[in-house]
Amino acid sequence: MDEMNDFDTFEKEIREKEAEKNKSKHRVSGRSVFKLQEIIQEKAKEEESGDSKKPMAGNKR
C-alpha cells in the first residue's frame, strides 16, 4: 500500500511541475497588444458615429 501512496505523490509532483511550465509559456508580445488596442479604438469610433453595419442586440433601426 505504501507503493501506491508513493506513486500518487510522485504523480502529483509531476502534474504540479507541468502546470508551472504551462503557466510560463503564455506570453503576449507588445506588438500584438498594441494592434489589439488599435482595433478596439476603431470599433469604439464606429459605434460612436453610428457607422456600424449591424445593430446591437435590442436596438432597432
pLDDT tens, residue by residue, 42-59? 998 887 776 556 666 665
Q: How far is CA 40 from CA 7, 12, 15, 20, 35, in A?
A: 50, 42, 38, 32, 9
- Per-residue pLDDT, averaged over 6-18, amounts to 89
Gap between the Cα atoms of 6 and 10, Å rounded: 6
| Mean of pLDDT over the chain | 78
Neighbours of 52 (CB within 10 A): 13
Q: Which set of grid coordinates corresponds to residue 29?
A: 508580445
Decide: helix, strand or coil at residue 27. Answer: coil
- For the question of whether the overall pTM of this predicted structure is more than 0.85, the answer is no
| Residue 38 pLDDT greater than 90, yes or no | yes
Residue pair 61/55 in contact by the 8 Å Cβ criterion: yes
